[in-house]
Amino acid sequence: MRLALLTFYPGDPRVIPGGIRMVSYNLVQGLKAYPDLDLHVVHCHSDIEHDRLAEDGGATIHYLALPHKRVVPNLVTGVRRVQEVLAALKPDVVHAHVAHFAYAGARAGYPTIYTIHGVLAREREIYRRTLFDRLRYGLLGWYEARALRQVDRLVAISPYVLDEYAHVRADAWLRIDNPVPREFFAVEDRAEAGRILYAGSITEIKDLLTLLRAVERLTPLYPGVRLRLAGRATSAAYERQVRAYVETHGLTERVEFLGLLSREELLEEYSRCALLALSSVQENAPMAVIEAMAAGKPVVATRVGGVPDLVSEGETGYLVPAGDDRTMAERLAELLGNDALRIRLGQQARVVAQGRFGAERVAGAYYALYQRVLAGDDAVGAGEPQAPQPIRRAAGPKGAR
């Protein structure tokens, strides 16, 4: 079976920005276990300077460059470029992880699966500050509307997606979680008192200002509290706001900007943190929460989007209202001040993660879906829960079609 995975993929697997790139990389590592998959990953983005091919343990990665300066939007150019690669590959199945690539696969006439990682309508409400943002999300919405009608299967990574897209083709949906690799489950707990980790991008949707206010409230109670921000800035304007708040509110000794970390460095941060904090105003199934759970760390996060499907109140962490720095500070203090509670919630989080998010389990669920799509099996019910289950690997020569 020849599979074309249309997604965003890391240029350097040692340093992965997170989000879709992290999900896609983890999924590919799981899919490489199936010898009958001729796996091709197509990454078309302006972060690529020149077209190139790379091999990763049997998977072929097609890196396609897009210009930094352009007249025609890169979303449009990217669709054309991806369709050209598909015409050369002639895949049996296409699996897309972003709207315009899903449109490209379906429009080209290939059996196409679309995994939805973000609810565009909700994100569009947040990113309206600039003309570029408004045009970008308008064009993405155009592609998504057509992809939703044309693809063969839709995958929801959280019940939140099923709720938000309840009006769309009830017979086409499956539920499959995001994957996390084995090394996160092997993280040793070397937590340092007062050490809080945030892992993710620095951008408006993450509402880091609320998290900073919560840390500011904690300071009189826990003089040793430290917040470590791991991730790249994707909004320069918002990064300036965050850094200005840190400087003007006397938090420079409490908050450290780590930037984008390698996987080894990120694993070290999970090991040494007491907990993970996430203050987003919008999320689907954030990888930071899933990674922290796998690493055996409790999570304090906002009750938004798909987060309540991941974090169970009082069992694997705590949920707080978006924008409520007072309640977030209270929940952070509860865990920082009670090691037994922190350890118990972290251990339960790891148990939950082991049952849901292992890369092998998730890859198995997708592999079974590829087979069903290839066979033309339409027996998928509306919102049918598809918890990943171990499946028997198919035998056969690599590249069999």
Strand pairing report for 226-230 and 195-199: parallel
Residue 321 near residue 327, CB atoms below 8 Å: yes
pLDDT digit string, tens, across residues 348-371 = 999 999 999 999 999 999 999 999
Residue type, 356: R
Residue 298 near residue 350, CB atoms below 8 Å: no
Rounded alpha-carbon distances, angstroms, from residue 397 to 94, 250, 366:
20, 62, 19
pLDDT digit string, tens, across residues 176-200 = 999 999 999 999 999 999 999 999 9
Assign 115 a pLDDT band (cuts: 50, 70, 90).
Answer: very high
Provide mean pLDDT across the span 23-29.
Answer: 96
Residue 194 near residue 225, CB atoms below 8 Å: yes
Fold equal for 2-179+358-374 and 182-356: yes
Give the start-to-end residue ranges of the domains of the chain.
Answer: 2-179+358-374, 182-356
Of residues 379, 357, 31, the one with CA closest to residue 180: 357
Per-residue pLDDT for 124 more than 90? Answer: no
Q: Give, as one character, the DSSP assignment of residue 166.
A: T
Report the topology of domain 2-179+358-374. Answer: Rossmann fold (3.40.50)
Return d(Cα 204, Cα 189) in angstroms, integer.
31
Return d(Cα 209, Cα 243) in angstroms, integer.
10
Of residues 169, 141, 143, the one with CA closest to residue 155: 169
Q: Which residues does residue 156 pair with via DSSP β-bridges, in sequence order?
A: 116, 175
Average pLDDT, the chain: 91
Most confident of the ranges 16-20, 133-137, 346-350: 346-350
Rounded alpha-carbon distances, angstroms, from residue 354 to 91, 292, 293:
32, 12, 9
Q: Is 112 helix (H, G, I), strand (E, B) or coil?
A: strand
User: From start to end of 117-199, where are the E strands?
Assistant: 153-156, 173-175, 195-199
Domain 182-356 sits in CATH at 3.40.50.2000
101-110, 130-139, 164-173, 285-294: segment of lowest average pLDDT: 130-139
User: From start to end of 200-269, where are the E strands?
Assistant: 226-230, 255-259
* pTM for the whole structure: 0.90
Tokens for 347, please give them: 């251990």
pLDDT of residue 381: 41
